[in-house]
Every structure is written in structure tokens, then in C-alpha cells.
């Protein structure tokens, strides 16, 4: 049987016409799936029981299921979800209650194939891409958590969880369509950021496809030698190629671009590194988020010392770079950047 959430509205309409139902039934079902987040055919209460039974016989509806929830001392909530085939993924709710900002960090793949040396997910085998509905479910279910815990809905979505979003390109864009379209959740695409380790041709494809969401590059080093050392993908997508792709993206979309930059002690946090990083900020408007390194097992890195980080970020700021130092959230439950690995 086919997963009903893999059908578009036209295909649903064709199905209902073929079985002798009115055209509007397709729109009703589509609204249940993508506006009302129905998790079973039984939820579709404005359909007759015989029609609901028929849908159950013809189609699959496979929502993700909460498997484990962990609460951090800083308010962060990490949720492990079980998929229909038994695979596990993780999502993180990051609350900044004082600013009424609630962000969900969603996964796009089961595991990851990029093998970045500082990332726990990169040590996992990539099993498969998530379906659009599995990404969508993370948002709606974590939104329910935000409402229950804080009484407020999600304000932002970041594709920064497990996996490389641009290697799950079609499914990621379809999930964003369901999240942002009037026929879906009608969220603003400006509240969504997709993060990539840097795949130049896919960044250009984003531009050609006219996406409206924001883009983040996981940069982490401002020269090829260091980036090759920690991110093997840089060997096929070096910085010159990436900058060309980002310039193309900016010129075609005018969407916001961010560099994510994990500060490793005595590796990429010197004044020389800051100078090289500042140079990479001259071609288009860009914001830099400097992220504290979060330790994982058997990785030869330490987080940058406070004084080095202050000098590093200060140099950037003094040279006109828009820079923010982001303190890690959820580290005590392995929910911080680079720590998602389905640990027990």
C-alpha cells in the first residue's frame, strides 16, 4: 500500500474521482493531513465511516511516534522519535522564554554520510532520507510540547538535526512546502533556516528553485586545509566553490545567509583564523554564529577558552562583521550541536 502523505492534491483528487466520490473530498483529506495534522484516518471525522474504512484499506498513514523525551536543566527538550520501520531520529525544542522564541531543530535523515570529525551524528551510518511527512511530524509534535510546557507555539524551525538536508533535497523542500503553504500550516518561510555542510551545486539549485527560507553554512574553518581536516566534504566543495555558490544564492534570492562556526581551542580560534573568516564575509551580507564546541566521545577537540573566544569574536566585531556567540543549550542531555546520536 502507498503512504497517503506521498500523494499531492491532484493525485488525491484523481483517486476520489475514480471511486465515484466528489472532488471536494480530496481537499478535505488534504486539510486533515497537512493543516490539522491527523495521525490516523479515524481522526478525519467529517468523512463517513465507510470512506474512512476504505482509506485504511487503500493507503498507509504512518506518523512518527515519541520514543523518549529528555529535559535539560536549561529548559531544552530532546525527543527521540521512532519511525514506521523502527529507525530512530531526534528533534530538539530550544526555548528562549524571555524572548518568547521557541525553536525546533529537526532531522532530515536517519544518520548521516558526511563523517565530520566533531559530530556524533556523522559517526552513524546513513540509513535513509526522511519522508516529508516525517519531517512535518517533528514540527507538529514538538509544537505540541511547546504549547504544553510554555503555553506558546513554535516561532522558528531549523533543519540542523541529524543528516544533511541538501542530500535529502526533494523531501526537505516538500516538507517546507507543507509547513509554509496556505493549504498546510501557513508558517512564514522567513522563520525557517536550512543548514548545510556545504554542497555547492545544491546551494545553486536552491537559488534556481527560488526558495524563500534562510540558509546557513556549517563553515567551522576559514581555510581549506583546516576544513578538509574536519569536514571531508570540503575536498569536493572547497571554499572558493562554496563562496561562488553563496554569492549566486544571495543574488538570486536575497535571502539571509548565516555562517555557523564551532570554535575549537587552538585549532580555528586564532586572530589569523578571524582574519580569514572576516575575508569570507565581504562578498554578501552574512551573520556569523560562533558556537561552543560540545564534546563527544573519542574526538580530539576542546571548546575554545573564554579569553581566546573573546579576542576572536572581538576582532570580527571590530571589523564590521555581524557576530553572535551562542552558548550551548541542552548539553547535559546530549541535545546540543553535534551531539545527536540516539544515545541511551
Question: DSSP string of 67-102?
Answer: EEEEE-TTS-EEEEEE-TTS-EEEEEEEEEGGGTEE
pLDDT band at 333 (very low <50, low <70, confident <90, very high): low
281 annotated active-site: no
Q: CA-to-CA distance for 113 and 327, rounded, in angstroms?
A: 27
Rounded mean pLDDT, 44-62: 96
| pLDDT of 95 | 93
Of the chain, the percentage scoring pLDDT greater than 70 comes to 94
Separation CA 22–CA 303 (nearest Å): 61
9-18 and 24-34 are packed helices; what angle lies between their axes, rounded to 10 degrees? Answer: 140
* Phi, psi of 240, deg, nearest 5: -65, -40
Are the beta carbons of 23 and 9 closer than 8 angstroms? no
Of 183, 75, 180, 91, the C-alpha closest to 134 is 91
Nearest to 256 by CA among 296, 302, 211: 211
Q: What is the pLDDT of residues 111-142, one digit of tens each?
A: 998 988 888 777 788 999 999 999 999 999 99
Number of CB atoms found within 10 A of residue 22's CB: 10
343: pLDDT strictly greater than 90 = no
Estimate to the nearest angstrom the gap between the alpha carbon of 229 and the chain centroid: 24
Q: Could you read off the pLDDT of 80-93 as tens digits, one per residue?
A: 999 999 999 999 99
- Whole-angstrom distance, CA of residue 37 vs CA of residue 141: 9
H/E stretch holding 117 reads none
Catalytic member of 105, 119, 281, 337:
337
Confidence band, pLDDT 50/70/90 cuts, at residue 155: very high
Q: How confident is the model at residue 71 (pLDDT cuts 50, 70, 90)?
A: very high
Clarify whether 229 is annotated catalytic. no
pLDDT of residue 341: 53
Kindly report, residue by residue over 139-154, the tens digit of the pLDDT. 999 999 999 999 999 9
Whether residue 132 contacts residue 64, with contact meaning beta carbons closer than 8 Å, is answered with no
Whether the pLDDT of residue 300 is over 90: the answer is no
Out of 31, 90, 251, 281, the active site residue is: 90
- Taking CA atoms, 53 is separated from 8, 24, 86, in Å, by 21, 18, 26
Domains of the chain: 2-60 (1.10.150.530), 65-333 (3.20.20.70)
Mean pLDDT of 209-237: 97
User: Could you give the CA distance from residue 127 to residue 168 in angstroms, rounded to a whole number?
Assistant: 12
| pLDDT tens digits, 273-295 | 999 999 999 999 999 999 988 87
Percent pLDDT > 90 in the chain is 84
Is pLDDT of 338 > 90? no
Amino acid at each position: 500500500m502507498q503512504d497517503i502523505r506521498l500523494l499531492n492534491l491532484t493525485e488525491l483528487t484523481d483517486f476520489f474521482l475514480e471511486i465515484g466520490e466528489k472532488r471536494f473530498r480530496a481537499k478535505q483529506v488534504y486539510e486533515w493531513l497537512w493543516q490539522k495534522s491527523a495521525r490516523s484516518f479515524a481522526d478525519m471525522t467529517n468523512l463517513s465511516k465507510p470512506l474512512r474504512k476504505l482509506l485504511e484499506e487503500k493507503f498507509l498513514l504512518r506518523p512518527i511516534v515519541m520514543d523518549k523525551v529528555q529535559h535539560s536543566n536549561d529548559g531544552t527538550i530532546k525527543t527521540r522519535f521512532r519511525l514506521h520501520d523502527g529507525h530512530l531520529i531526534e528533534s530538539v525544542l530550544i526555548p528562549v522564554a524571555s524572548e518568547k522564541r521557541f525553536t525546533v531543530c529537526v532531522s532530515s535523515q536517519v544518520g548521516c554520510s558526511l563523517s565530520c570529525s566533531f559530530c556524533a551524528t556523522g559517526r552513524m551510518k546513513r540509513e535513509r532520507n526522511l519522508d516529508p511527512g516525517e519531517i512535518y511530524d517533528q514540527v507538529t509534535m514538538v509544537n505540541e510540547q511547546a504549547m504544553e510546557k510554555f503555553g506558546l507555539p513554535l516561532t522558528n524551525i531549523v533543519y540542523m538535526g541529524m543528516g544533511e538536508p541538501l542530500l535529502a533535497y526533494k523531501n526537505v523542500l516538500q516538507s517546507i512546502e507543507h509547513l509554509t503553504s496556505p493549504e498546510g500550516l501557513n508558517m512564514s518561510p522567513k522563520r525557517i533556516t536550512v543548514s548545510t555542510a556545504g554542497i555547492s551545486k545544491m546551494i545553486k539549485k536552491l537559488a534556481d528553485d527560488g526558495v524563500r527560507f534562510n540558509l546557513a553554512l556549517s563553515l567551522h574553518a576559514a581555510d581549506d586545509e583546516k576544513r578538509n581536516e574536519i569536514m571531508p566534504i570540503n575536498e569536493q566543495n572547497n571554499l572558493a566553490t562554496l563562496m561562488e555558490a553563496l554569492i549566486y544564492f544571495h543574488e538570486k534570492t536575497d535571502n539571509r545567509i548565516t555562517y555557523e562556526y564551532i570554535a575549537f581551542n587552538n585549532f580555528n580560534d586564532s586572530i589569523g583564523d578571524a582574519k580569514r573568516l572576516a575575508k569570507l564575509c565581504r562578498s554578501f551580507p552574512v551573520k556569523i554564529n560562533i558556537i561552543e564546541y560540545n564534546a563527544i566521545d573519542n574526538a580530539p577537540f576542546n571548546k575554545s577558552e573564554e579569553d581566546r573566544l573573546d579576542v576572536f569574536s572581538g576582532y570580527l566585531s571590530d571589523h564590521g562583521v555581524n557576530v553572535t556567540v551562542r552558548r550551548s543549550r541542552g548539553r547535559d542531555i546530549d541535545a546540543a550541536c553535534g551531539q545527536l546520536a540516539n544515545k541511551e
